[in-house]
Amino acid sequence: MKTKLSHLLPLLCFFVSTILHAQNTPPLQPSDPDWTIEMQEVSVEARRAIKTIERKGPIDGPIIYSGKKNEVIIVSSLDADLSINNPRQVFAKVPGVHIWENDGTGIQLGIATRGLNPNRSWEFNVRQNGYDISSEVFGYPEAYYTPPMEAVETIELLRGSSALQFGPQFGGLLNFKIKEAPVDREFMLETQQTAGSYGLFNSFNAIGGTKGKFSYYAFYHTRSADGWRDNSRFQVNTGYINLNYAFSDRLKLSFDFTSMSYEKQQAGGLSDEMFRDNARQSNRERNWFSTPWNVGSLTLDYAINDRTDLNIRTFGVLAERSSVGFLAGPNVEDVINPLTNDFANRQVDRDFYRNAGTEARVLHRYDLLNNESALSVGMRAYVGNTLRQQGGIGTTGRTMDFSIARMQENGQEFARDLDFFTYNYAVFAENLFKVTDRLSITPGVRYEVIQNRLDGAFGVNNPVTDRNLDRGFFLFGTGVEFKTSETTNIYANYSQAFRPVTMAELTPVATLEDVDANLNDQTGFNFDLGYRGSFKNYINFDLGYFYMNYGNRIGVITDDRGLPFRTNVGSSISQGFESLIEFEPLKALKMNPRFGNINLFASTAFIDATYTSWNNPAALTNPELDFTGNRVENAPEFIHRFGLTYAYKTFSATTQVSSIGSVFTDANNTVIPNANATNGKIDGYNLVDIAFTYAFSKKYNLRFGANNVFDTDYATRRAGGYPGPGLLPGEGRTFFVGLGGIF
């Protein structure tokens, strides 16, 4: 940036005149011979900052973050393929994020940390703008909806220790914060159009503005592609609107509504031999999946006074999950029967979700020991209903058709027809005690009530059954933060966690499977200890140790009749180290900013997740059935991501390397895959991505790049059912280019 200081001459003369007048000296006049001041042109250049991740302060709104491990991803600053919500790029600087990358659509996000299961991020409390968006928080906590990243301003992760303020989940909080209306104009238009490999087209368009006390923001998004694999085409459409009215400087009312729908062809799983031969192949063309999703919220923010803030949020979910397909293993071909001259009937499964809840929080600041402390209290009331209909006899066709071709033996449409209700009430409180200018202690408590009601038919030959499960429990935790300098601190946090028995665990997967009548909830705790902050202006870091105790894990063992039995199989401990280090060498060397800026980052995690006890009675007589000491399934021993970003004026480029360790897919730690590839070790892998961003003419931007540059064959998941049993490969090399602007 260059500025001619001579343009500031009138202002400079004013200041000189004022000073001289204050000294009773007559000011200079234009007619005076000394009026002319000769100045040289001075060039002032600024080095572009490369900031894509930050951390919450001690307090944000009515929520206390002091002493908690958290990350905030600034999505708009990323060099990343946002057109497909590429998760390994978006979460690159969050250490330890394990991603299931079997779905290149960007529709569903499957992530976990610390040895937990990434299945649709179900170990996290997933939210948008602070409210729930998953199917049913305690009955079926899977997130089928992920907002398009072009619409997201920031992503907040509060790991391990979020139980007291957001819920009892082991994983913590994952919150997508959608962009807001600009405050400086009445109308703004943002558009981003992206094209890519295999027919990818992604279109994002948003409007927003502020007029007086009213503001609005809305977007429409559509994405479609033929897919990298055969039989994997998809289309998704998402609409969103946010309306705000500020009654005063202290009182604001907001309304959100999101509607998403999509249809996706599912290529199904592969055997390991098929994967090695051609990872793009598919022998399923009749498998389809769809999840219409509607989420709404109404939020009231009220600053009662300068020290007290109130937030009340009411929200609801109205959604479906529907699938149809031929679900045999990959070693069974879906072929036309020569006797009927048609395909076999497909299976139809449908879920319907109806949820509503209210959360209220109050934060009050007060003086204690000559420092300002804060008390945060809140409550939650929630009801969720899931209607699950499975095993319907579908059509013999190829298209996405969820209709029922014929009735079951008992005259019903579905073999399984279940109605599941969850009632949840909670109160919680945390207090940030600012003991000194450096030391803060934040103890907290949460009391949770969870009531489950289940009735319906488990199968054609299974009678209608009722099952009720009620419990109330306390969760305790404490956070500590000590400022070692103005920009660094040591933090520690202990928080109890809880994962209730879900609907899927209470219902047998197959008619021969039995479920323990005394199935217990899963309990445990998280502990974090870390050192974080920044050094001068060129190093940013967060170095931490974690320890997670996960008790009473639910799984399937073989009973004395040789049949599968779902019960509490044992307990596990995950511990390890997570670190993020960002280094800007040109700033450290104090080099001239005209050379641009370089950011080097290393996001690393070492995870030791093992079973510490195994409760299978058969292990008493058969040591081979004792899995104590085995690695926890879906838990890689290391997750590393390294990258380099170069920025010069309005251009930036990022190269990223992802290195992920191998995983076992069952508690047995099976190495050699079985015939249908549902069990077996998955090898580790290394991937390289590159992305570029160029802004020009003050309004426009150009984005382009390549994912999986070296076209590496890799897999992250084995499935036992949908989206098709077998090994599910990640995507090979793809390219994208996008043009957008803000007007």
Statement: residue 458 has pLDDT above 90: no
Q: CA–CA distance from 293 to each of 122, 134, 207 (Å)?
A: 17, 10, 22
Map tokens 């499960």 to a residue: 469
pLDDT in tens, 671-725: 999 888 988 999 999 999 999 999 999 999 999 999 999 999 999 999 988 888 9
Q: Could you give phi then psi for residue 303, rounded to 5 degrees?
A: -85, 95
* Average of per-residue pLDDT values in the chain: 89
- Length in residues, the chain: 743
Please tell me whether residue 610 adopts helix, strand or coil conformation.
strand
Closest listed residue to residue 602, CA positions, set 114, 101, 94, 160: 94
Statement: residue 467 has pLDDT above 90: no
CA distance 714 to 707: 13
Map tokens 């160029």 to a residue: 694
pLDDT of residue 563: 63
Q: Could you give phi then psi for residue 274, rounded to 5 degrees?
A: -65, -40
Query: How many other C-beta atoms can be found within 10 angstroms of the C-beta atom of residue 463?
Result: 7
CA distance 677 to 362: 51
pLDDT in tens, 100-133: 998 889 999 999 999 999 999 999 999 999 999 9
Tokens in use for 497? 């966690």
Residue 159 pLDDT level (bands cut at 50, 70, 90): confident
Tokens in use for 567? 């019960």
CA distance 582 to 135: 37
Percent share of the chain, pLDDT over 90: 76
Residue 623 pLDDT level (bands cut at 50, 70, 90): confident
Query: How many other C-beta atoms can be found within 10 angstroms of the C-beta atom of residue 648?
Result: 15
**Maximum C-alpha span of the chain:** 112
Of 168-182, 282-296, 313-327, 408-422, the one with minimum mean pLDDT is 408-422
Statement: residue 447 has pLDDT above 80: yes
Q: Which amino acid is at 394?
A: G
Q: Report how far Cα 128 is from the mean position of its chain's Cα atoms.
A: 10
Closest listed residue to residue 155, CA positions, set 104, 121, 193, 205: 121
- Indicate left, alpha or beta for 536 from its phi (over 0: left) and psi (-120 to 50: alpha): left
The strand ranges marked E within 522-637 are: 522-535, 539-558, 564-583, 597-614
Closest listed residue to residue 428, CA positions, set 404, 412, 448, 442: 448
pLDDT of residue 399: 95
CA distance 182 to 114: 38
Rounded mean pLDDT, 373-388? 96
CA distance 447 to 311: 20
Contacts for 480 with CB less than 8 Å, ≥ 6 apart: 67, 439, 440, 441, 442, 491, 492, 493
Query: How many other C-beta atoms can be found within 10 angstroms of the C-beta atom of residue 404?
Result: 18
Query: How many other C-beta atoms can be found within 10 angstroms of the C-beta atom of residue 458?
Result: 21
Residue 92 pLDDT level (bands cut at 50, 70, 90): very high
Statement: residue 741 has pLDDT above 80: yes
Q: Could you give phi then psi for residue 292, rounded to 5 degrees?
A: -60, 130
CA distance 724 to 713: 19
300 DSSP β-pair partners: 253, 312
pLDDT of residue 558: 66
H helix or E strand, kind and range, residue 324 = strand 308-325
Tokens in use for 483? 């400022």
On whether the CB atoms of residues 432 and 480 are closer than 8 A, the answer is no
pLDDT of residue 34: 42
pLDDT in tens, 302-325: 999 999 999 999 999 999 999 999
More confident residue, 511 or 144: 144
Q: Report how far Cα 44 is from the mean position of its chain's Cα atoms.
A: 41
CA distance 255 to 664: 44
Which part of the chain is CATH 2.40.170.20?
Answer: 176-742
Contacts for 366 with CB less than 8 Å, ≥ 6 apart: 307, 372, 373, 374, 375
Closest listed residue to residue 723, CA positions, set 173, 289, 339, 153: 289
| DSSP character string of 79-93 | -S-GGGT-HHHHTTT
Statement: residue 359 has pLDDT above 80: yes
pLDDT of residue 510: 54
Work out the angle at residue 377's Cα, subtended by the Cα atoms of residues 373 and 378, and round it to the nearest 5 degrees.
Answer: 155
Of 168-177, 240-249, 331-340, the one with minimum mean pLDDT is 331-340
Q: Which fold has domain 176-742?
A: Maltoporin; Chain A (2.40.170)
Q: How many CA atoms lie within 13 A of 559 on its CB side?
A: 12
SS3 per residue for 32-62: CHHHCCCCCCCCCCCCCCCCCEECCCCEECC
Query: How many other C-beta atoms can be found within 10 angstroms of the C-beta atom of residue 676?
Result: 18
Statement: residue 613 has pLDDT above 90: yes
pLDDT of residue 619: 76
Of 10-19, 230-239, 441-450, 616-625, the one with minimum mean pLDDT is 10-19
Torsion of CA 618, 569, 674, 233, to 10 degrees: 160
- Write the DSSP symbol of residue 113: -
Of 118-132, 383-397, 608-622, 703-717, the one with minimum mean pLDDT is 608-622
More confident residue, 458 or 33: 458
Residue 41 pLDDT level (bands cut at 50, 70, 90): very low
Closest listed residue to residue 629, CA positions, set 668, 590, 656: 668
pLDDT of residue 96: 96
CA distance 651 to 76: 14
pLDDT in tens, 232-271: 999 999 999 999 999 999 999 999 999 999 999 999 999 9
- Indicate left, alpha or beta for 737 from its phi (over 0: left) and psi (-120 to 50: alpha): beta
Residue 463 pLDDT level (bands cut at 50, 70, 90): low
- Indicate left, alpha or beta for 456 from its phi (over 0: left) and psi (-120 to 50: alpha): left
CA distance 500 to 523: 8
Please tell me the pTM assigned to this model.
0.91
CA distance 542 to 560: 49
